[in-house]
Amino acid sequence: MKQSRSRCPIPQPKIQQGMLLCVLFLASCSLASELLYRLKEESPTGTFIGNLATDLKQGGSAGAGVTYNLASEGGDGRFVDLNRDTGELRSSAWVLDREKRCPEPGQAECALLLDVLLLPPRLFRLLKVRVLVEDVNDRPPRFPAASIGVSVAENAEPGSRYPLEPPAEDPEPGLNGLLSYRLEGGGDAFSLLGEPGEGGGPVPLLVLELPLDRERRDVYVMRLIAEDSGSPRLSGSATVTVSVTDVNDNCPEFPQAELSLTLYSNLSVGSEVIRLQARDPDLGYNARVVYSYGERVAQASRRLFSLDSGSGAIRLAAALPPAAAQLHRLTVLATGTGCSPVTAALQLRVEAVLAGPPTLSLSYIALQAAGVVYLRESEPAGTPLALLLVTEQQPRQRPLRCYLEGAAPFRLVSYRGDEYLLETAQQLDYEARQVHEVTVVAENANKLALRTTIKIQLLDVNDNSPLFTSSLLNVTIEENNPPNSFLLKVKATDADSGEMGTVTYLLGPTVPPAFALDQFTGVLTVSTSLDREERETYRLAIRAIDGGSPARVSTATVLLTVLDANDNSPRFINKDFSFFVPEDYPSFSEIGVIGVIDPDAGKNGWVALSILNGSEHFVIDTGKGNLMANAPLDREWQSSYILWVQAMDGGESALSAVAKVTVLLIDVNDNPPLVLFPQSNLSFLLVLPSTVPGSSITEVYAVDRDTGMNAVIAYSIIGHRGPRPETFVINAGTGNITLHEALVKNDHGLYRLLVKVSDHGYPEPLHSTVIVNLFVNETLSNESYIENLLRKDPGIRIEESPPETRADPFQTELDVFPCETVLIALSALCFGLFTLIFALVCYISLRSRKRRRKEYSAAEVEIPLKKTIASYSLDRKSMNDFDL
């Protein structure tokens, strides 16, 4: 293990480490060491990295009682777990991805930098720990484009090279990112060669091995495979399409170089004699053929037979002489682009016909020019085109028949006698077919026929609306996108021709102004950054308008969905929360709900709650936010609690918020008053007989740990013992005991007052009792005698009357005993007996009291008169010692 001295960087203090840590950092500048370890990326949790204690012992610096502490748990420290006692360093639950940790391409070394503090301060030392992250071959090569297109001219020389760009990418370093290529499907025509690129990696080159011929094969589809050098090897692929482009390497050729035809002298002017076609296997302009007569063709033949230079059609331009047979030799030249002319020899023999077929005369109704009828495609069925008159040369050869040859969307309608009307049989469609040729046949009884061809050119009208590839387009974009982000490109086509087929694009009137659409290309962009929390979906209407008049419009809808990003921290519904809870509230009952919201969606909007300051008295439902007490609460022990609650979302880069929660305990009457004075039921006070009525003798002092009405104390005397018990009274509010009447000689002696100390708690007051002993005499000479009296006294009888029982206000006469007279008589009898017994008891009690008073007077000791009241205390005796 490598260990070396290094210069100490000046550490930056952190709030949570405090000023002590700052001092330790500054002091460590001369005590810093560096340890170097290695760890493979994506290692399982708990993977052993190294032991700091062992390595320091090897270096000669270890001490007993040393603890190892990470200076920061964030940053690189989150990827490791350090045992404070043993110094053992292991990988944590965080997934360590080298490509994310060190995203710079070509970075040879990627390391985690850790600061470890050795404590306590007397053994302080700063360790610089570097953990080299070793790459694992976990990413296959990837081509930026799934398809690569290459154009190769068919006359390219073998050995020509064509770069296949863009090449594959692999962000991993070393052998894991070293790529090699191979080609599948190239056959013998293509091979693959690599050469170094600008970044050091190989660039694949497509090498032509054999000559190409587009006329035999115009497309080659191959598969380019990129494979890295890692273990195991990973690969990626892309499709390579080679298009063979045409060159002018072929010339026109006639299928037959010599032809011979026979014509009859009654052939109609304009009839097609023959159509010569020279074939050129090239494409486009390279396959264009121009037809012309040779120089040796006679002028008479040129006047009779016209040649179409574009199609090679030869037509009869003038009437043939009917008298004698003729022979015409025509030489036709076919000239291709960049080629020498090829020739075809045509021999036409004209034979005279004395009794030929009928003649056919045309009178055009529709618009025509140069023998071509022009008709708008919007014309309805039954539109007349021409009027035909059929005439027989010899009347005896009737009857005549006139009809259309072949299938065509036209019909002949008999008009009048030998006149026929040529009209449309259905509405025509320019987009289906632009030119129609109709052959009219006039035939007599001898089966001699005359054929005349009529060419009909349709005129386009704006009868087609633009057509989108799809009427509903779905597109997604992540929120917080950069301005002017590309969304999609719409495409609409119009089958009409010319300007009527030109399509422009416009946005609907309700589309927000943030969206822009190029009217010519159909590229839809958004100029601003979108916020999913503000709006998640947009329905954008896009109109395609053609160039016709009036214009036709089609509409497509783009449904844009804004994907969520974790850009919103959880937000508490209140800045601070306060809950008032009775102190006897049951454990694990809901105290309150801490409301928190996160406007993000999915796991980004899932919020978990936790208590940061770790109160042992409270727990929180991490999902619902219910705050509960997990232990009994006591207001007298602690009246309030301040909790710091953290809300953390579930995003990949988690965001959090903290709120203050105050729990205030509401007092419950669970503490009876505590009597502080007198301290014992056996203590007593000396009261001089000369004390003036109304004087304060003593006071009962009590406190209540509760609050509010539960702590308001009331004092009352509930029992008396003594010569004249009513001599002393107590103030209900202050507990002050005063002399009520003047004392006389017979009032001397021991007075025992049972005082009840009660609070005003709800629902039921609590109370305590204490005995106040007062000795009325001039002096106190025999203290032990009084103490014996206090110990031998049997107790004090409670003189409070029981609480009154309230009658039921809803009691009715149905509750009255039915024998009311008998009940009254029995009650009177019982009352009389009770009165008699009470009188006897009173008499006996008076006799006993006089006897005890005499005995007390005999035992009384004279005490010198003092003007101070002495208080004497005996051992405290609980209330249970007295008969109440």
Question: Going by DSSP bridges, is the β-strand pair 289-293/272-275 parallel, antiparallel, or unpaired?
Answer: unpaired
pLDDT of residue 7: 34
Question: What is the domain class of 571-666 according to CATH?
Answer: mainly beta
| Torsion angles phi and psi, residue 844, rounded to 5 | -65, -40
CATH of domain 147-245: 2.60.40.60
Q: What is the pLDDT of residues 441-495, one digit of tens each?
A: 888 777 778 888 899 999 999 888 999 988 899 999 999 999 999 999 999 999 8
The single residue listed with the structure tokens 């597109």 is 475
Tell me, which fold does domain 674-801+861-872 have in CATH? Immunoglobulin-like (2.60.40)
pLDDT of residue 93: 80
- What's CA 57's distance to the chain center, in Å? 51
pLDDT of residue 579: 92
600 token code pair: 């993000």
The structural domains of the chain, with segments of one domain joined by +, span 3-134, 147-245, 258-351, 361-459, 467-563, 571-666, 674-801+861-872
CATH among 3.40.50.2300, 3.90.380.10, 2.60.40.60, 3.40.50.300 for 3-134: 2.60.40.60
Answer yes or no: are the C-beta atoms of 268 and 237 closer than 8 Å: no
What is the C-alpha radius of gyration for the chain, rounded to an integer number of angstroms? 60
CATH of domain 467-563: 2.60.40.60
Cα separation of 386 and 362, whole Å? 7
Low-confidence residues in the chain, pLDDT < 50: 1-31, 58-63, 800-818, 855-884
Cα separation of 697 and 10, whole Å? 77
Q: What is the pLDDT of residues 511-563, one digit of tens each?
A: 999 999 999 999 999 999 999 989 999 999 999 999 988 899 999 999 999 99
Domains 3-134 and 258-351 share a fold: yes
CATH 2.60.40.60, applies to 258-351: yes
Question: Going by DSSP bridges, is the β-strand pair 190-196/202-208 parallel, antiparallel, or unpaired?
Answer: antiparallel
Angstrom distances, CA of residue 365 to CA of 61, 368, 385, 423: 116, 8, 5, 10
The CB density around residue 166, as the number of other CB atoms within 10 Å, is 12
Answer yes or no: are the C-beta atoms of 534 and 564 closer than 8 Å: no
> How far does the chain reach from its first CA to its final CA, in angstroms?
86
pLDDT of residue 492: 93
The CB density around residue 398, as the number of other CB atoms within 10 Å, is 11
pLDDT of residue 795: 61
Angstrom distances, CA of residue 272 to CA of 267, 313, 315, 362, 454: 10, 7, 4, 17, 11
pLDDT of residue 870: 35
Q: What is the DSSP letter of 798?
A: B
pLDDT of residue 287: 81
Answer yes or no: are the C-beta atoms of 400 and 392 closer than 8 Å: yes
pLDDT of residue 875: 36
Strands lying side by side in the sheet with 553-563: 472-478, 553-563, 537-546, 503-507
Question: What is the domain class of 361-459 according to CATH?
Answer: mainly beta
